[in-house]
A and B are shown apart, each in its own frame.
Chain A
Amino acid sequence: MKARIHITLKNGVLDPQGKAIQHALAGLGFDGIEDVRQGKFIEVALAGDDRAAAQRSVTEMCEKLLANTVIENYDIEIAD
């Protein structure tokens, strides 16, 4: 199994890197960009096939290390 984890900045947290990317895209001539937010993608390969247990375990990983919940949200997808 694989856990795919998206970590994104919470609404209201400024994202200067996202803003820089937005400006760079505008500089390349891409019009109509309203906003860019940068995040992280982490893939964790897991032994076993208990999806509920995997969900619980990866949630704990996010809370303890992978995300800083002061500024970040996380979203977990368990895939085969």
Chain B
Amino acid sequence: MPATVIVFPGSNCDRDVAVALESAFSRPPAMVWHRDSALPPSDLIVIPGGFSYGDYLRSGAMAANSPIMAEVVRAAERGVPVLGICNGFQILTEAQLLPGVLMRNAGLKFVCRDIELRVDRADTLFTGGYRRGQVIRIPVAHHDGNYFAADDTLKRLRDNSQIVFRYCDRDGNVSAEANPNGSRDNIAGIVNERGNVLGMMPHPERLADMALGGIDGSPMFTALAGALAA
């Protein structure tokens, strides 16, 4: 079955992620418009980056309430893997498929650059192409990437090992200096308890081809393709 990419008004990484998916899955993904109320049968749903609905009210808030998202929530509850990148992560938190919220960057500036990430979980469906503790370089491009969760939620995320990616320096040290947006615990990406929904602020699809300057994002898509084909 093909992967599915959900497209909202204001999505702007939908085509980039479609290219990365096509390369890994050897077939193009289905592109599904936000007003559709049915999902095609799919092994993987991707919610791409962008600025859905112009980030009105709160980033991801409008998109989380669009018709197709009710179907995405149902699919996620059935166990279908869902990957949210950047705005997709914001939408997944607003849809309550992932805990917490992404607030305005602590420095108030839009941050657009390559950053280092430490892979803290290499045993998820999404991260089997990496090693635990591996430092990868992936671009971020966001204004609202400051992950916040209340203390009890954060404790649950830690206790259940749901933190998958943390901002770090080149040597893998998770430090305040390496945190581009003020996220609690340097959180860049988390997975739900069941392990089938992953949200991350960095953009693996933007470094998934040597023509883009690097391929540190590729293993995510090839690992997904391998795991879902098995």
Contacts and interface: CB of A to CB of B under 8 A. Distances in A.
B103 interface: yes
A14 B150 CA distance: 12
Given A65-B57, A65-B65, A70 B101 contact: yes
Given A14-B106, A14-B182, A16-B108, A68 B61 contact: yes
Contact of B65 (A14, A17, A64, A70): A64
A65 B57 CA distance: 9
B148 A13 contact: yes
B99 to A, nearest CB: 8
Interface in A1-35: 13-14, 16-17, 20
A46 interface: no
A71 interface: yes
Count chain A CB atoms within 10 A of each CB in B58, B107, B108 and give the residue with the most.
Answer: B58
Given A17-B108, A71-B101, A65 B150 contact: no
A16 B182 contact: yes
| A interface, over-half SS | helix
- Contact-residue bracket for chain A: 10 to 19
B157 to A, nearest CB: 13
Contacts of B105: 16
Interface in B19-75: 57-58, 61, 65
B219 interface: no
A71 B61 contact: no
B53 to A, nearest CB: 12
Interface in A22-71: 64-66, 68, 70-71
Contact of A70 (B104, B106, B107, B148): B148
Interface in B125-156: 146, 148-150
Contact of B107 (A16, A65, A66, A68): A16
A65 B94 CA distance: 9
6 contacts: A16-B108, A17-B104, A17-B108, A68-B58, A70-B99, A71-B148
Interface of B: 57-58, 61, 65, 93-94, 99-101, 103-108, 146, 148-150, 182
Please list the 9 inter-chain residue pairs (A to B) with the smallest Cβ-Cβ separation, ordered nearest first: A70-B101, A16-B106, A71-B101, A16-B108, A68-B101, A68-B58, A20-B108, A65-B65, A16-B104
